[in-house]
Amino acid sequence: MLAVRFRSSRAVWSLPLLSIVLGCHEPEALRLASQTLVGDSTCVACHQEQAEFLGTAHAGTSAPASAETIHGSFAEGENVLRTSNPRLFFRMVQAGGDFFQEAVESSGSDTTRTIERFDIVVGSGRKGQSYLYWRSDLLFQLPISHWTGIGWANSPGYRDGVANFNRPVPPRCLECHSTYAASLPSLGGGNRYDTASLVPGISCQTCHGAGGEHVRWAQTGSVWRWLRSAAIVNPADLPRERRVDGCALCHGGIGESIQPPFSYRPGEPLSAYLHQPEPSPDEPVDVHGNQVALLARSACFQQSDMTCSTCHDVHRPQRDISEFTAVCTSCHVPGESLDADHGAAMPGNCVDCHMPNVETNVIVGDQLGRVLKPRVRSHRIAVYQ
């Protein structure tokens, strides 16, 4: 006997209709944000010096599924994942412009196939990608991910040898992997969204605020220049704590939401939106997702006014770690604050010794008895033994 479960049809609503339907459920700030967001191409049209941002890991942290955005192979012989359950395997299937994950499970003479479509790619692919799918307006994670350097493997948090397609994707996941998604009232796992409202990727507006009013005033002419500036947030003008808050929204731990999803606005105190308990000095902090707490343990941070942007230019890809050495040596001058021999032995790479890559215990995969843990750059600047 062959049992097949196909995906159900999706509901697609327009944003104006969404605002009417959710008038009693969604705060005014969220309705305003959903209607005043603009595309990054609109920002780059004026700010062409920031065009490299479109190639950053932030911008590519989620995207619609396509042949270009999915990194795993669908070629015959490369599209099958065996599991620890000899009766179960997964197959990646391409049909025209659509892509599917299929679980094939046999029991005696019976075979059950579960098929769901790749709808959303999560992750720029530097360490890997996971994939999401819509079941009507409910959002779930697919059981198979792509791990860079390994290939197809079980998604983090999924148990090997089980065909599970029911892991819900809560708003806090989307807050750090997209610009906006309007949550709908949900009876269960809090994974119900308006599908048309999803704005994938971390956009310019994640750090600068919704750009609709800024663009509108910019188009009126230079006489309204002060209104144009007032309608957008420049993080460089914020005090140190607020600048770090903007990064800590996603790089300060998952935390517990105090306000509705996507209601945080750059420049506001993050503590009024998200409760992120400060770890005790001897409490271990994982390298994934809480870079701010690790940085805060560094003497460099404690004894200066540095922020995340002291080292990071979020407007462009930064893959050459040697360029960070110039930031280090602007304070730690070889032969002065650094031992002369230390300086001579430093061929343009402070980072690998003082901010090493460390295995994370948060993103963990299980594949045929093999534990998969990506290595993530520690942001605790220190002397490591």
- DSSP one-letter string for 18-30: HHHHTTTTS-HHH
Give the pLDDT confidence score for residue 221 in this predicted structure: 72
Q: What is the pLDDT of residue 229?
A: 79
Helix and strand totals (H; E) in the chain: 13, 20
Note whether 4 and 54 are same-domain residues. Answer: yes
Percent of the chain with pLDDT over 90: 63
Position 226 scores a pLDDT of 72
Q: For residues 140 and 166, is the Cβ–Cβ distance under 8 A?
A: yes
pLDDT at 31 over 60: no
pLDDT of residue 4: 43
pLDDT at position 3:
43
Do 249 and 363 share a domain, yes or no? no
119 with 204, same domain: the answer is yes
Query: Does pLDDT of 181 surpass 90?
Result: yes
Whether residue 29 is predicted with pLDDT greater than 90 in this model: the reply is: no
222 with 290, same domain: the answer is no
Same domain, 80 and 136: yes
Distance CA 35, CA 7 (A): 30
Give the pLDDT confidence score for residue 130 in this predicted structure.
96
Rounded average pLDDT over 19-29: 36
The mean pLDDT value of the chain amounts to: 86
- What is the pLDDT, as a whole number, of residue 340? 55
Q: Looking at the structure, do residues 250 and 217 belong to the same domain, yes or no?
A: no
Q: Say yes or no: 190 and 270 in one domain.
A: no
Find, among 204, 28, 16, 4, the residue nearest to 110 by Cα. Answer: 4
295-318 average pLDDT score: 95
Residue 210 shares a structural domain with residue 72: yes
Q: What's phi and psi for 199, nearest 5 deg?
A: -110, 100
Do 50 and 157 lie in one domain? The reply is yes
Domain boundary among 277, 298, 333: 277
28-32, 82-86, 221-225, range with greatest mean pLDDT = 82-86
Confidence of residue 9 (pLDDT cuts 50, 70, 90): very low
Residue 183 confidence (pLDDT) above 60: yes
Q: Over 80: is that where the pLDDT of 297 sits?
A: yes
Counting the structural domains of the chain, the total is: 3
Residues 87 and 169 reside in one and the same domain? yes
- Checking if the pLDDT of 323 tops 80, the result is yes
- DSSP-derived secondary structure for 86-122: TTEEEEEEEETTEEEEEEEEEETTEEEEEEEE--EEE
Burial environment of residue 92 by CB neighbours within 10 A (0 to 12, 13 to 18, 19 or more):
buried
Is pLDDT of 34 > 60? Answer: no
Distance (Å, whole) CA 32 – CA 180: 12
What beta strand segments (E) does 240-377 contain?
A: 256-257, 274-275, 357-359, 365-367, 370-372, 375-377
- In this predicted model, which residue has the larger pLDDT, 149 or 227? 149
For residue 135, give the H/E element and its range.
Answer: strand 128-135
For residues 118-143, average pLDDT: 95
Domain-ending residue, one of 215, 232, 249:
232
Whole-number pLDDT of residue 339: 61
> Alpha carbon 239 to chain centroid distance?
25
Query: Rounded distance, CA 214 to CA 43, Å?
Result: 10
If asked whether residues 223 and 94 sit together in one domain, one would say: yes
Pick from 96-105, 145-154, 344-353: least confident: 344-353
The pTM score is 0.86
Instruction: Count how many Cα atoms sit within 13 Å of the Cα of residue 167 in the half-sphere of its side chain.
Output: 17
Residues 375, 251 within the same domain: no
Name the residue range of residue 131's domain. 1-232
